[in-house]
Amino acid sequence: MKKRLPFVLLSVLIVMSLFLGACAKATPTAAPVQTEAPVVPSQPELSTAPVEPTTIKVMSFFAFDNPEVETEVVAAFEAANPDIKVEFESVPMSDIFLKYKTLIAGGVAPDVMAMNLENAYTFASLGALAPLDEFITKTGYDTSKVYQSTLDMFKVDGVQYSMPATFSDVVLFYNKDLFDAAGLQYPAKDWTQKELIAAATALTKDTNGDGKIDQFGYNFPWWPVVLAMYDASIWSKDGTTCTLNSPEAVQAFQSIVDARYKYIYAPTADQLAEQGDWDMFQAGKLAMFPTGPWGVKPFNDNVTFTYDIAHMPAGSKQATLVFANSYAMAADSKNKDAAWKFIEFATGPEGTKIRQDGKYEISPVKEIAEKYYVANLAGDDPEHAIVFMEVLDYAVGQPLHANWNMISDAIGPELDLALSQAQTVQEALDKACVGINAALAK
């Protein structure tokens, strides 16, 4: 049975509800009714669309024969910097610098450009590259982690215009199978031209008896390396006068002529036109070939024989050249901060470790070079990869001048005539000095 509220209590509740309702009707509104809506300050709309990444263009010749090496650097950078997209183009070294000039002239240069040593100097001198010192300072980049000599290679008048990404030097690659077949000892650290000539002559052969040489003992490196081996120079210490026609330089170039025509152990220009020394070595037709660590991976991928490396045989002194490649920023880049981020990554521990693992040259970052370079080649050719590091004790930098292209153009044609015996070495170098002096005077 339902319980009922007592009558008195129910009556009280009814009266109170009527009283409260009457009060509500009698209370005026707090403010007069507005005829227009109040003005509310507008608020910025919050966009839900993703922020578009900054896009930079990077052009490089690094590891052109093994493009996956540099594309891996790019991929690793993009993964670490999702706000930056890289449009990457790989171009052979033979074409890239002319392409840069065309793009710079058209105002569409890549934000980041790979440079070798002489072109880094030339492009910086022309004002085509952005100085990097402010970025180094602003981001607190620790330059002490990089070999100082490689940093200094890319300074012009004390200003850092690009950052070293790789360095390399010229050593003596040799075909161990050919040495073994001839019963010869492998090249030693203390070899001079006397030992070189003896071995190279024994390794030069007409293998099929047709009267034509099929296997050569040696070919010479780029001519500035030969100059260094004879302590010769192109210009005076003050940079004002050509010294390429000195007795030391004549001796250096005469050694190449004698190798081709007197001792006959090196291919002539005509023979090299039929097959270059790189291809000769890979084909097992050149016993000794001075080149750098850029050859390691291509040779390991393509040769069918065992090879190793050794120190360069001395001329009047033991010498070789050290080279370096770098990444520079275009002076007209519209994305300099993003471009610097790429340069910092690609030339730092992360980027150079990828190249090191890809067996492309040597990292200028000390910890990467010293910890990984030789270790990565363990169990593979060359057995004595440590030689790449040892030759730094006597390696020198290549000649650098703002008018290097003019100087090279003055030397090239005359030297070609001398090396084919169309004129004497002395005549060639005297003529070359006319053009060199003109370039030095500019």
Q: Are strands 171-175 and 286-291 parallel, antiparallel or unpaired?
A: antiparallel
Q: Which CATH number fits domain 171-321+397-441: 3.30.565.10, 3.40.50.300, 3.40.190.10, 3.40.640.10?
A: 3.40.190.10
Residue 91: pLDDT band (50, 70, 90) is very high
Residue-level pLDDT at 50 = 67
**Section 286-305 average pLDDT:** 95
pLDDT of 42 above 50:
yes
Residue-level pLDDT at 65 = 86
Residue-level pLDDT at 359 = 82
Q: Which segments of 71-199 are extended strands (E)?
A: 84-90, 112-116, 155-156, 159-160, 162-169, 171-175
Region of poorest pLDDT, from 77-91, 176-190, 357-371: 357-371
Residue-level pLDDT at 439 = 96
Residue-level pLDDT at 48 = 58
CA distances from 21 to 7, 11, 12, 24, 28 (A): 22, 16, 15, 5, 14
Region of poorest pLDDT, from 12-16, 307-311, 324-328: 12-16
Residue-level pLDDT at 370 = 86
Angle at 114 between CA 347 and CA 291, to 5 degrees: 90
**Section 299-313 average pLDDT:** 97
pLDDT of 160 above 50:
yes
Residue-level pLDDT at 60 = 98
The closest alpha carbon to 150, from 291, 325, 320, belongs to 325
Mean per-residue pLDDT over the chain, rounded: 89
Contact 415, 432 (CB under 8 A): yes
Identical fold between 54-167+323-393 and 171-321+397-441: yes
Region of poorest pLDDT, from 28-32, 142-146, 279-283, 438-442: 28-32
Domain residue ranges of the chain, discontinuous segments joined by +: 54-167+323-393, 171-321+397-441
What is the per-residue pLDDT across 225-273, written as a single tens digit (0 to 9) for each? 999 999 999 999 999 999 999 999 999 999 999 999 999 999 999 999 9
Is 10 or 141 the better-scoring residue by pLDDT? 141
Residue 133: pLDDT band (50, 70, 90) is very high
The closest alpha carbon to 171, from 378, 353, 382, belongs to 382
Residue-level pLDDT at 361 = 87
Residue-level pLDDT at 17 = 43
Residue-level pLDDT at 8 = 38
Region of poorest pLDDT, from 15-19, 188-192, 198-202, 309-313: 15-19
Q: Which CATH class is domain 54-167+323-393?
A: alpha beta
How much of the chain exceeds pLDDT 90, in percent? 76
**Section 304-331 average pLDDT:** 96
What is the per-residue pLDDT across 6-27, written as a single tens digit (0 to 9) for each? 433 334 333 344 333 444 444 4
**Section 132-154 average pLDDT:** 93
Rounded to 5 degrees, φ, ψ at 162 are -155, 165
Contact 311, 189 (CB under 8 A): yes
Q: What is the pTM of this model?
A: 0.74
Q: Which two tokens stand for residue 227?
A: 């100059």
Residue-level pLDDT at 39 = 52
